[in-house]
Chains A and B, each alone.
Chain A
Amino acid sequence: MKQSISGIAASNGIAIAKAFRLENPELMVEQKKVDNTTSEIERFQAAVTKAAAELEIIKEKTAQQISDKEAAIFGAHLLVLSDPELVGPIKERINNDHINAEFALQETTDMFIGMFEAMDNEYMKERAADIRDVRKRVLSHLLGVTIQNPSMISEEVIVIAEDLTPSDTVQLNAEFVKGFITDIGGRTSHSAILARTLEIPAVVGAQTVMSSIDNGVVVIVDGLEGLIIVDPDEVTIQAFQQKKRAYDVQKAEWAKLKDEPTVSSDGQHVELAANIGTPKDLTGVLEHGSEGIGLYRTEFLYMGRETFPTEDEQFDAYTKVLKGMNGKPTVVRTLDIGGDKELTYLDLPKEMNPFLGLRAIRLCLEMPELFRTQLRALLRASVHGNLKIMFPMIATIEEFRQAKGLLEEEKTKLLNEGVELSDSIEVGIMVEIPSTAILADVFAKEVDFFSIGTNDLIQYTMAADRMNERVSYLYQPFNPAILRLVKMVIDASHREGKWTGMCGEMAGDEIAIPILLGLGLDEFSMSASSLLKARSQISKLSKAEMASHTEHILALATSDEVEAYVKEIS
């Protein structure tokens, strides 16, 4: 009987094959009294040695077949096996209390698992799974139980499991394992990350698959939607085969576009850039063929810690990003804190309307020393790449002049100190307040570029708090009022020979892209995973044709009318 189960989409793609249940044998541990503690300790040591030998093989295999980075997980497992704070107490417990090795192992590892699970950090919580994996390996040797080995699978299957340990996952042979489904886990668990590396479709956190799917039943895994179909009928299978083909074609097409510039069907180039929060995001940015960074949100450097980051710490982070981008344009937004983003160590009075209060550039101008530290770090890093500095939440031209004045002062100081700086740093502003959009022609004479922040521009134009669900209907990116403001900004920049970008989800939206292309937007900055899709879409659109619809679109009355019209023409 056909049945659908939904879970968390962990790795893209679609697979159809028979289910293979990877059973996790119940390793029952009983507390027993042992007389000969010396031989019990030897028995424990022998199990540890066997487990270590297995791990060495898995580590080696992972390094060869996947990457050194993934292999490092098993290096950590080996260290756990020889950890004096784990092995010591286990041996002591056996020796002092005549407890059997299995129980001593269970008890001691439980203590560590509990400690990691209680930590207030997703990454650390996941480490409990590593300890369980190691424990299971040693226990199976102590109990003489053979654990099913996923590398033995030799026909095309979808693996179904309660959970996949890191060592299970690396042993999945992508030739036969077409996809996997687990009952527990999230998008950041080891198995999910590995599935994406191996490009195996996967759904995790499905909760009921082990209790409802039998061995050999045909299963469809839709890793795009996080959907599982058990025992599908012929029509369903055909529909998913078609979806799979379409996805495969699209994937191949996107892969080809990775190293290509973004060019419309009538030969016009626009820049596709990515939004990042930390230097770690660079990997994804480069993998998806970004032509630059359109928004580097520096506030993450200030968050999750107890003191302000030092100038040197900031310099290191900015340098890493600039070097990583290898000369491609990199727009760094100065600190945007306040509003919904708070710092625990910066004690600011509570405000009635934080989104209309002391945030971003307003805060930086109020606390110039904090701002100067960031500007110095940025200036010093400027020699390592193509740096552009952007100020957030500018409402008046005086704010921009004041911020730029501080930048110039720090520049002069650094030059006097003999520090080498780039002499071609562009300085621009975010356009997210209607007053600035309306006065864009005045701003365009003084700034080097604009970047439109759509989330805030919409919230401030519509006077609708984006955190308040009861007014969420007013979040209307396609409202002609918003589009007219966007046009004013782009036109003003072009008249002065400057450029306009957009960072914010709207830049990667498939309805917005044709409109923005027609309006003459120069740079589209979005999350890295949207880049190739956007590049593919733009390559099929004619910029001149989209521009010819602009007048009609801006004369429409509602957001819905705009959306319907765009769907019709593109």
Chain B
Amino acid sequence: MVEKQYIITDEAGVHARPASALVGSVSKFQSDITLEYKGKTVNLKSILGVMSLGVTSGSTVTIAADGADEEEAMTKIDEVLKAEGISNE
């Protein structure tokens, strides 16, 4: 399993457009991918799950991938978070 923490820098938090980009980019991976925020964990392949967390700007989230393609998945997630301006670290 691989796990990484991110600080959300998009000033609107994780809203529909970046959330769509993130969810859309991970659906093709076989690994189980989760997003944890304030002690709640959701499936990162679920747009409703991700949106329902209402992640705000400045907060920290933990993303974890577990499965055969976990490394590729994390690389992709890293790339999308930066490209969409959701997080820069």
Is A411 engaged at the interface, CB distance under 8 Å to the other chain? Answer: no
Q: Is the CB of B59 within 8 A of A305?
A: yes
B-contact bits for A59-79, CB 8 A (1 contact / 0 none)? 000000000010011011001
Q: Are A112 and B11 in contact (CB under 8 A)?
A: no
**When the two chains form their complex, are residues B58 and A309 in contact, meaning their CB atoms are under 8 A apart?**
yes
Interface string of B41-63 (1 = CB under 8 A from A): 01101111101101011110000
A-B contact number at CB 8 A: 71
A115 at the B interface (CB under 8 A): yes
**B9 interface neighbour in A76, A79, A316, Cβ under 8 Å:** A316
CB pair A79 B49 closer than 8 Å? no
Q: Which residues of B contact A130 (CB under 8 A)?
A: 16
Indicate if A478 sits at the interface (CB-CB under 8 A).
no
Q: Is B24 an interface residue (CB 8 A)?
A: yes
Residues B23 and A79 in contact, CB atoms below 8 Å apart: yes
* Residues of chain B contacted by A279 (CB below 8 angstroms): 11
Q: How far in angstroms is the closest Cβ of chain A from B84?
A: 11
Contact indicator per residue, chain A 245-289, by CB within 8 Å of chain B (1) or not (0)? 000000000000000000000000000000000111000000000
B12: CB under 8 A from chain A?
A: yes
B20 at the binding interface (Cβ < 8 Å): yes
A123 and B15 contacting across the interface, CB-CB below 8 Å: yes
Chain A, interface SS category: helix
On whether the beta carbons of A317 and B11 are closer than 8 Å, the reply is yes
Q: CB within 8 A of B16: which of A84, A127, A309?
A: A127
- Contacts of A76 on B, CB cut-off 8 Å? 16-17, 19-20, 47
Interface residues on chain B, number (Cβ under 8 Å) = 26
A79 touches B59 (CB 8 A): no
Whole-angstrom distance between the Cβ of A131 and the nearest chain B Cβ: 7
Which of A85, A306, A316 contacts B43, CB < 8 Å? A85
Q: How far is the CB of A296 from chain B (nearest CB, A)?
A: 13
**By the criterion CB–CB under 8 Å, are A84 and B52 in contact?**
no
B residues 1-50 with Cβ under 8 Å of A? 9, 11-12, 15-17, 19-20, 23-24, 27, 42-43, 45-49
Residue of A nearest to B43 (CB): A85
Tell me whether B16 and A278 are in contact (CB under 8 A). Answer: no
Residue on A nearest B88 in the bound complex, by CB = A316
In the complex, A130→B16 CA distance in Å?
A: 10
Q: Is A313 an interface residue (CB 8 A)?
A: yes
Q: Provided the pairs A86-B48, A121-B54, A305-B56 are in contact, do residues A75 and B11 lie with their beta carbons within 8 angstroms?
A: no
Contacts of B54 in A (CB 8 A): 119-121, 124
Which of B47, B49, B57, B88 counts the most chain A CB atoms within 10 A?
B47
Q: How far is the CA of A130 from the CA of B9 in the complex (A)?
A: 25
> Is A305 a contact of B16 with CB atoms below 8 Å?
no
Q: List 20 A-B contacts (CB under 8 A).
A: A72-B17, A73-B16, A76-B17, A76-B47, A80-B47, A82-B27, A83-B47, A84-B45, A84-B46, A85-B46, A86-B48, A112-B48, A116-B52, A123-B12, A127-B16, A131-B48, A278-B11, A301-B11, A304-B56, A305-B57
- A sample of 10 more A-B contacts (CB under 8 A), given A79-B47, A130-B16, is A69-B17, A73-B16, A76-B17, A79-B23, A83-B45, A85-B42, A86-B48, A123-B12, A131-B48, A304-B57
